[in-house]
Structure 1
Amino acid sequence: MELNKHVSRRHFLKYLGTGFASLAAAYSGLGSLSSRASEATELNTYDQLPETFNPTKHTADDADQLLLAGGLAYSVLAAYGDTINASGDTLGMNSSYTSFFPIPGSDSEALLWVNHEFAQYSWMVDRSEAVAWEQQKQLLYEQGGSVLHLKKDAFGQWKLATDSTLAYRVSGLTPIELSGPVRGTSAVNGATLVQGTLANRGGAKTLWNTQLTGENQFEAASRDAGLALSHYGWIVEVDPFNKRRKPVKHTALGRFHHGSAAMTLSSDNRVVVYMGEDSPEGFIYKYVSAGKWTEAGDTQTSELLSEGTLYAADFIQGRWIELSLDNVRNQLKRITYQAPESLYKSKETLLEQFQSQSDVLASASEAALIVGATPCDRPAELTVHPRDRSVFVACTQNDNRGNLHGQIIRLKESSGDTFTSETFIAGGRQSGFSSPGSLTIDNNGNLWVGSDISPERLNTGAWSEFKNNGLYLIHPTGSAQKTKQYASAPTEAALCGLSFTDYQATVFMAVNHPGASGVGTASPTSSWQHRFGKRDPRSAVVVITQSLL
């Protein structure tokens, strides 16, 4: 079934904040990158949100449960393995992102996109024997994403419609088209159609109301299944409203470990997609479409993500460097240029590797390093502010460079291909959180951060005082002293993928990889959302509302 889900320019500009007094007031005075506002506009909804307990002050916040601030309550919408539709499809493993799509013309039905980042099974622990094909199919099925169909019950609460014909799965088994410059080239072994999407971390809504989902750490799963590595590491577009429409991998947006994406419009109506590379010393990218967006409909939207220019950020010079074949090869041909040791390749080998623009896009991270882009400390997720379109980037951390707790960077476009940037807030004791992994800006311009301290570091060493991962609200000024914590995760889980209903009465959130270190062992480290009679934990999507008590 296909639903009418067209979004007009006027609706999208409202989404960006144009003409909304509440959004115009939001984030005034954000440090050196923002102009000062009058006292009348410095009111922010942050100051209207209730004060909350800080779980880091309590021993309970390292407990194996999801703890919320006073006045909030949650229910589980769906957990790993739960049936999601009339065909018997099940929710994938390790949910990492959600995106809310109201069904046009209805205030009681909606779709929810959910990413599934990776799969873990007991048979993955002992790899002494070859993995059976049935096991490989299961591993591939659990990744990708789910389209859930939600309906309000008699009490106005969102529930999963398990008998739905609208809900469906996109997985590592789904046929997916390639689009753009790399389609059919030697960089992808001539492929125009590939099998599945893997390791889906973050994403973004498009202007035309479809979903972008990013493939992150894809190597292990694709190698295990005997799939070509070059077919993964792309941005995939899915239409939640039309399960018959084949998903598309947009090669013009580059191939790397995609942590997230954020879409906006340039001043001349070109589509801009910002992307973060979720790797230690990963880069920040920007794609700008060749064509301009109008309200023409779906026939034009595919072109907007197929023809354009990809850039990587140079924070030292404050400029965007075009990832073009000429830029890469000219740099490699310089007599004084020395190939980075981290590439483990000579200049001659790299010149042989980069023969066409499709080669550049298929090895975007290597190209970015060659042309002089700036490595960042795991830029996992990013988001665009609705008023001034500045970009917030969560750099989780990088032990190798002594950055134990990470920071959030703020980037603001200037003239031409230049930008300014600053550290908006740094993680650590002074701010009350460590290792920012997910970012969300709500309809009022408030910045929400989910921490992502890895399971092996939680409650140990430099990270011991932060306890379990949490969900934080950051003050509009970036003041570390005014950070508020609103949730604490179950053991070894991360909280991520916040999405809001139109009027923000309901929040959807993914609880990712609870008990990650104990999977496949006789001693699970978490039992959060285990099934009756079993001990193994399950990732889940929860619905958060105001408590009725």
Structure 2
Amino acid sequence: MLRGVTNPVSSSASQSFWHRLLDAKITRRGALGTAAATAAAATLPVTFSGAQAAANNGGPVGAGATQADPRTYPPFRPIEPTGADTLTLPERYRFQVVAPWGEVFTEGGREIGFNHDYVGFFPIDLLEGGSSSTDALLTINHEYVNALFVGGNTKERTREQIDAEMKAVGVSVVRVRREGGGWKIVPDPRNRRIDALTEIELTGPARGSAAVKGATTVRGTVGNCSGGQTPWGTLLTCEENVDGYTKAWAGSGYEAMHQGWVTEIDPFDPAWTPRKRTGMGRFRHENAAVTVAKDGRVVVYMGDDMQDSCIYKFISRGKYAPGNRAANRDLLADGDLYVANFGNGSWVLLDYDRNKKLQEARGSDGKALFGGQADVLADARASALAVGGTPVDRPEDIEIHPRTGEVYASLTNNSKHGNYFGQIIKFREHGDDWTAQTFLWDVFAVGGPQSGFASPDNLVFDPYGNLWMVTDNSDLSSNPTKAFHGNNAMFFFPTEGPNRGRAYRFAVGPVDAEMTGPVFSPDGRTLFVSIQHPGEDSESLDKLRSNFAAKPGSNVPRPTLVAIEGFPGWVKA
């Protein structure tokens, strides 16, 4: 059943706005022209009160706006910050809990995993060239477990609890369908779990090397944070924060060097063994933004989610072959990894044989840091810093603008340098070529009280090129400098026109929760979002801070996938 949380402002202006939006005629400019328009210096977002007043009047936000153009202001009336233990949305929008932790969804009795993150939307007819918006395979990352909720033991874990945790992380592949006015999980032989016990193949230069202790196949995928989707219909799930499991899962056979990679999974083919793509490097992978360059090579942008860590780009050696899915599934096994140098706007190759700095790199003891390419990839962070990669402020997500081709990155924060609120940057490759060796960059939006947001995390674009962002504030309840923010939230940013770079609050999550992994259905009428770790700061099961999505008869909060509806869909030109 769909539940709604409304804003108390009168809906008359909103209805007028929606009618004009649906009737609007969109002039789609060429990518080059739009890129030129957005290359101007970014302005700081307006205050919430100004955006609220303009939107409440049913008119375009910002001076000079004269029509309901969905590229220049939001399709909703912005909401106020709140600390409520629910998912708060603008008037006319509603949400449904679709796939909560613990829901049985396979014939074999497997349950949806814990702490949902990235969501991939794969239309059920994708392999036949379709784009269904009402029937799909969803892939849901499960980043980590909260020992209080999974096993009830926050101290020394038992063998049984470790087993339960291993089965609760990884990825869920879930078929969902919209029917009867809402979304539901439907039976499908492709419904399955890939967890910390699943057999996965290693590919690329580190396969079988000493860097991975000679392994060619490994057990499991863990720390599954954000990810990406390939043009051939597979998931790239990104492994982050994997080292902490070594102590937590002591005695389980867990091997940290086998984790921290990008793992490719085919949601349509359960018989296809998942692959860890070692050529894309080992670090705290947050995301994988995939695109196809002019010459057919596949390019993947990635961030290392850690203070003073870097942004990377992987370029395949082979070329994408439309219609040849079997060949395309091997494209990411072989390629070149680069790190960004923002000081001179260049991409630096991380290849042991072709970059002497890697051969000459020495540790504090005078010994060589790397003995070959496998070592370079297994410690990509050290490799990046050794060749001049620029440390940045926690690159949590990177996404590519669908109209301009510019690359946007959320830099969450860095308390080491006094950057407590974070920012969003964007860069444009030379010649609008994603394989280029140089780029230009600037700041798109800056967090803080003046803009209303802090700690930007996952990003998603709609087809108009508007940017939607969710926040990752882990210290909201203890940091007085973020009192303006309320619970973690979701914001809308126009990327062109007079309001580009201005933040408008669309949603606010439950207590202690993050909203993660947002993805739109192809028609734009449903936004799927994960609600991760509600009530995470609870002291005990007797002192819960949240009850969001709890089972009937229980007070324990549950991470879950939700479907948000009320969008008008995409307006055709």
Confirm or deny a common fold (TM above 0.5). yes
The match for 2:303 among 258, 266, 276 is 276
Distance in 2 between the 1:41 and 1:331 partners?
Answer: 56
Matched, 1:146 2:172: yes
- After alignment, is 481-490 or 207-216 more displaced? 481-490
Report the counterpart of residue 183 of structure 1 in structure 2: 207
Where 2:481 maps in the other structure, the secondary structure is helix
- After alignment, is 115-124 or 376-385 more displaced? 115-124
Q: 8 Å contact 1:26–1:446 — kept in the other structure?
A: no
Where 1:325 maps in the other structure, the secondary structure is coil
Q: How does 1:309-328 map to 2 (within 5 A)?
A: 309-326=336-353
Where 1:273 maps in the other structure, the secondary structure is strand
The match for 2:366 among 334, 348, 351 is 348
Q: How far off its partner does 1:49 sit?
A: 3.8
Distance in 1 between the 2:94 and 2:65 partners?
Answer: 33
CA shift digits 1:297-351 (9 cap, x unpaired)? 23322432111100000000110011111466536738xxxx6xxxxx41623x1
Q: 8 Å contact 1:441–1:448 — kept in the other structure?
A: yes
Report the counterpart of residue 38 of structure 2 in structure 1: 30
**Aligned positions, number:** 507
CA shift digits 1:381-426 (9 cap, x unpaired)? 1101112211100100011110000000101111541111111111
Report the counterpart of residue 67 of structure 1 in structure 2: 88
Report the counterpart of residue 28 of structure 2 in structure 1: 21
Matched, 1:193 2:217: yes
The match for 1:133 among 151, 155, 159 is 159
Q: 8 Å contact 1:137–1:173 — kept in the other structure?
A: no
Distance in 2 between the 1:495 and 1:108 partners?
Answer: 22
Matched, 1:120 2:146: yes
**AA partner of residue 294 (structure 2):** S
Q: Under a length normalisation based on structure 2, what TM-score does the superposition of the two structures give?
A: 0.83
Q: How does 1:318-397 map to 2 (within 5 A)?
A: 318-326=345-353, 330=357, 333=360, 345-346=363-364, 348-349=366-367, 351=368, 353-397=369-413
Q: How does 1:208-287 map to 2 (within 5 A)?
A: 208-223=232-247, 224=249, 225-287=252-314
Where 1:141 maps in the other structure, the secondary structure is helix
Report the counterpart of residue 100 of structure 1 in structure 2: 121
The match for 1:530 among 539, 545, 550 is 550
Q: CA RMSD in A?
A: 2.7
Q: 8 Å contact 2:74–2:504 — kept in the other structure?
A: no
Quickly say closer, same or farther: Cα 1:529–1:369, change in 2 above 3 A: same
Where 2:381 maps in the other structure, the secondary structure is helix
Report the counterpart of residue 321 of structure 2 in structure 1: 294
Distance in 2 between the 1:267 and 1:236 partners?
Answer: 25
Where 2:458 maps in the other structure, the secondary structure is strand
The match for 2:183 among 148, 151, 158 is 158
Distance in 1 between the 2:215 and 2:555 partners?
Answer: 43
Distance in 2 between the 1:276 and 1:507 partners?
Answer: 24
**AA partner of residue 504 (structure 2):** K
Report the counterpart of residue 516 of structure 2 in structure 1: 496
Unaligned runs of at least 5 residues, structure 1 = 1-18, 340-344
Q: How does 1:349-498 map to 2 (within 5 A)?
A: 349=367, 351=368, 353-414=369-430, 416-454=436-474, 456-458=475-477, 460-477=479-496, 479=499, 482-498=502-518
Distance in 2 between the 1:332 and 1:185 partners?
Answer: 18
Distance in 1 between the 2:317 and 2:559 partners?
Answer: 40
Identity across matched positions, percent: 34
Distance in 1 between the 2:351 and 2:389 partners?
Answer: 13
**AA partner of residue 536 (structure 1):** V
Distance in 2 between the 1:272 and 1:55 partners?
Answer: 39
Distance in 2 between the 1:515 and 1:300 partners?
Answer: 45
Distance in 1 between the 2:395 and 2:317 partners?
Answer: 26
Distance in 2 between the 1:508 and 1:71 partners?
Answer: 17
Q: 8 Å contact 1:519–1:536 — kept in the other structure?
A: no
Q: How far off its partner does 1:492 sit?
A: 0.9
Where 2:37 maps in the other structure, the secondary structure is coil
Where 1:260 maps in the other structure, the secondary structure is coil
**AA partner of residue 437 (structure 2):** D
Distance in 1 between the 2:450 and 2:500 partners?
Answer: 6
Matched, 1:79 2:87: no
Identify, as 1 or 2, the structure richer in helix: 1
Distance in 2 between the 1:502 and 1:41 partners?
Answer: 28
Unaligned runs of at least 5 residues, structure 2 = 1-25, 43-63, 569-573
Where 1:348 maps in the other structure, the secondary structure is coil
Q: How far off its partner does 1:134 sit?
A: 2.0
Q: 8 Å contact 1:63–1:491 — kept in the other structure?
A: yes
